Amino acid sequence: MSGGVRVRAGRAPSPPPLPHAAPQSARFPRPQHDHLDADARREAASKGYLPTRRGYAPGGLNITSAEWKLLILISLVAVFVRLYRISQPDSVVFDEVHFGKFASKYIKSQYFVDVHPPLAKLLITLSGFIFGYDGNFDFKDIGKVYEANVPYVAMRMVPALLGVATVPVAYLTLRALDCRATTALLASLFITFENGLVTQSRHILLDSPLVFFTALTVFFWTCFCNEDKHEPFTETWWAWLVFSGLSLGAVVSCKWVGLFTIATVGVSTLRQLWTLLGDLRVSPRLFMRHFMARAICLILVPMLFYMFIFWIHFIILQNPGDGDGFMSSEFQHTLNGRGMADTFADIGIGSKVTIRHVNTQGGYLHSHPSNYPSGSKQQQITLYPHRDTNNEWRVLNATRDGDPDHDWEGKPLAFIEHGMKIKLKHITTDKHLHSHDHRAPVSDVDFQNEVAGYGVPGYAGDANDDWVVEISEGDKRDRESSKRLRTLRTHFRLRHAMSGCYLFSHKVKLPEWGFEQQEVTCNKQAVKLNSLWFVETAEHPMLPADAPKVNYKLPGFFRKFLELQQVMWTTNAGLTDRHTFDSRPESWPRLRRGINFWVKDHRQIYLLGNPMVWWFSTASVFAYIVTRGFLVLRAQRGYRDFESTHVVKYDTLCGFLFVGWLLHYFPFYIMKRQLFLHHYFPALYFAILLSCGVFDLVTSTLKPRIRLQIAAVLLIVVIWNFVYLSPIAYGNSWTRKKCENAKWLKTWDLACNEFYDDTSLYNTLPATPQKSAAVPTAEQVVPPVQQEPVNAKNVPADEEKAAETSADFGQAEPGRNVFEGVLHEELKSKAENLPVKASEDAAAAQPTDLPPPPIEYADPEPKHEGKPAAEAAAGADAAAEKPAAPAAHKHSDDEDANPRVEEVLAQMSQVMAKVEAVLAEEKKQDDTGVDPVIPGTEPEKEGEGETPQRAQGAQQEEEAEADRVRGELFPDAHLD
């Protein structure tokens, strides 16, 4: 061939078809490999059909440099939104009452118990410690101004920065799910301008860390799934899997809601393993490698991380605190200063003992020189959780022959055996443990009798002081403990010899007159666990120094860990009491109601989501359900929609996010505990990602410019919603009119009457002096008796008090801290005794432009746990002088009617009858020229003329009568 002739090179032969590869078509011109399993993809990569490791981005994240710059810009916007005026308000907000207090206890190493795991609280404490917090601020009330040495801004920065970090994580997650950059941008800005997430992340609260670690887990798991599709058991594959396990441990270490995240990853893992099990090319050995790798990284690693966080928790909290009373006696003796010296094992007549209850955190059988205010009015017998000389009793022989107080001194030592009849004498007050036919002070039922201290020095006592010892069980290591009483080894019951009831205690506290100590009764129908007792210490002068002694076997880490988990679980399940701003799960996706966080200085912080984000995400969830159901019906009719890679891709993407939303939302329906709007935030995160996945599907066939324009319209609406409702997110100035206009739903109970009519007044008028507005609900260690809400509309208050309160519509109220609270029965009784001065109908008759009167409840009862009885009594006396604090208004469509409504209406009818009579007489006077006669007054006698003095007296009487009626109708209206 001549040099001027060009020869076309031969085309390389086409590669053989890949196993299970989808045939090429005009609609899908490029080979699709996403459906191949790991082995097939590895084979294809070795033949050059797929990108090699060198060209494959870790985790499947194909992020361009322009996207990284965009992500940095979005993060800066999120920083501004979250940190804007984060120092305001400079006072305690909502549950900062609890979580700020926990930080103080960490710094002081004082043991406490909370229903939530420690990680988020430890992060907040670390921030405060680094910036010099000494732990001396009490975080007592909502609205209490922070002192200068409290680095509350630094402590708020922890949840705020984690809230900021959630934004780029959401972007990267959607990109890892193979969504377009526009879709990822939309999701990140949705989260940036979501009012609820912004509000929650700006305060010392736990939900922002929870949402962040939830988002981080989803991101790591998505990247692992991408690696698993490409090539398993590589270093990158292991890294993503381990990161997923650590993140799972972190999310469950913030709140137990993280268990739902574990369930989400678990469902995805089971689906992967099921697919591998059905692949005949995967050998059993290879399948076990996949199974063991996931079991270790997704089960063992999170468990070890979770336990490690509690190990740090125990290392820090080594001093006694107000939480040690909720733990077992063995646990308490691991704390500094709570150790006990060895004590005699044998117990006989004349032994000085301290007796503890087995079931209710082991309080001591206790008495003090204070009497019951009702019943027998004899000396109180209680259960007290701390060591005290008032816990000491002398065991006496229950005989009436001679003086039983001294019989034991001249006789040989007699051990206490099963069936023996004894008396228990309180050493400090010389009273005998006594029961009689009087009802218990709080548990006023027929089968519970009062237990009291009875007698005087030198008095031998009577038959009502006699108790029969019934040994229930002993220690297997000590055979004698099942035959006679042995210290720490024998569990026994005390049966009253006369009435047959058993000495009993339960998780019911006495009111203030009983220093909020636990009630002790004699129960004829006693549950066995609540009527078991054991002797903790015993002394006897006849026992030699080398007599057998015993002591607690101190628990190790695992026993302490398991005990604390049990206490947390039991208490968390018992949070069934109602809160002023609680809500149920069915209202969350519709954003029916928010939470009042803080009201002060004519401003309010109210947790409310961005309506556009919430409703759009909820609509997307239902759209996926309808679409998926429609596709299933089509498949049943023979259509092959699921053979399309396009459909499979979005079904996998949206299906995973839908399962995450479902598992983070529906479990709350089976919970009977107290719930709030912020419990929906993890599910909201999945709903937002799902809504953006639906957006990516719907706009997948549109041009990029049109897709971007649609996204811009959505973002404009979202940002407008955010700005419109931002005053209640940041606590900024607002007007009453704007607040009323912002009530798109009547269930959004904003405190609009708190705002000024004009924003200029915020700069000209001084702030109104505010009282602390924190009114915790009935916080008890166990589920309290259900309390019916007080009809707040029927409880007006004086206007002078209104000037001192921070809101006249509704007060912020901290969430429930079950380990530090108010006696439920007392709070209810005080609320029932509030005076009722005006009815709903009378209030409705007032002009609509007048603000309603403020609602007032009684102050919560003071807490005396951890204090000696004398200090507790002094605290109770001081608390009695404390004025009542306002509480949050509770909206209810079925509130009880005011019992004085009928009386007030009758008075109004009388007034109206008099007015009609006066008008009729005036008309008659006009016609006849005769003076009117007011009904109810005596007619003038003949010959008596009308004098100015008599006319003036009659007028004064009429005005007095009118003022009296007006005062009854509108008691708080001060009319000039």
| Cα(319)–Cα(252) distance, integer angstroms | 26
From 442, 458, 459, 462, select the one nearest 450 (Cα to Cα).
Answer: 442
Least confident of 82-91, 569-578, 646-655: 569-578
Q: Are 815 and 583 in contact (CB under 8 A)?
A: no
SS3 967: helix
CA distances from 875 to 18, 275, 723, 864 (A): 81, 66, 47, 7
pLDDT digits (tens, 9 = 90+) for 216-228: 999 999 999 999 9
| Cα(82)–Cα(85) distance, integer angstroms | 9
How large is the average pLDDT for residues 47-52?
A: 52
More confident residue, 668 or 887: 668
How large is the average pLDDT for residues 174-185?
A: 95
More confident residue, 666 or 897: 666
End-to-end CA distance of the chain: 121
| Cα(304)–Cα(195) distance, integer angstroms | 35
Q: Which helix (H) or strand (E) holds 472?
A: strand 467-473
876-880-882-884 Cα dihedral, nearest 10 degrees: 120
User: Percent of the chain at pLDDT above 90?
Assistant: 46
* One-letter amino acid for residue 99 of the chain: F
Residue 527 above 50 pLDDT? yes
- Residue 402: other Cβ atoms inside 10 A: 11
- Residue 909: other Cβ atoms inside 10 A: 10
SS3 391: helix
How large is the average pLDDT for residues 393-413?
A: 71
The pLDDT score that the predictor gives to residue 690 is: 97
138-139-142-145 Cα dihedral, nearest 10 degrees: 80
User: Which pTM value belongs to this model?
Assistant: 0.73
pLDDT digits (tens, 9 = 90+) for 784-842: 333 333 333 333 334 333 333 333 345 566 655 545 543 333 333 333 333 333 333 33
The pLDDT score that the predictor gives to residue 656 is: 96
How large is the average pLDDT for residues 714-732?
A: 95
The pLDDT score that the predictor gives to residue 462 is: 83
* One-letter amino acid for residue 278 of the chain: G
Q: Which two tokens mark 571? A: 């208490």
Residue 863 above 50 pLDDT? no
Confidence of residue 154 (pLDDT cuts 50, 70, 90): very high
Confidence of residue 516 (pLDDT cuts 50, 70, 90): confident
Residue 360 above 80 pLDDT? no
Confidence of residue 339 (pLDDT cuts 50, 70, 90): confident
| Cα(165)–Cα(214) distance, integer angstroms | 12
The pLDDT score that the predictor gives to residue 359 is: 84
The pLDDT score that the predictor gives to residue 967 is: 53
The pLDDT score that the predictor gives to residue 673 is: 83
The pLDDT score that the predictor gives to residue 481 is: 87
How long, in residues, is the chain?
Answer: 976
Q: Are 143 and 731 in contact (CB under 8 A)?
A: no
Least confident of 100-114, 290-304, 541-555, 952-966: 952-966
Q: Which two tokens mark 649? A: 């891709």
Average pLDDT, the chain: 78
How large is the average pLDDT for residues 942-968?
A: 52
The pLDDT score that the predictor gives to residue 620 is: 96
pLDDT digits (tens, 9 = 90+) for 465-510: 889 999 988 888 888 888 889 999 999 999 998 888 999 998 888 8
Q: Which two tokens mark 276? A: 């591998």
Q: Is 833 exposed, middle or buried (0-12, 13-18, 19+ CB in 10 A)?
A: exposed
pLDDT digits (tens, 9 = 90+) for 365-398: 999 989 888 888 889 999 988 888 999 998 988 8
- Residue 656: other Cβ atoms inside 10 A: 22
Residue 944 above 60 pLDDT? no
SS3 786: coil
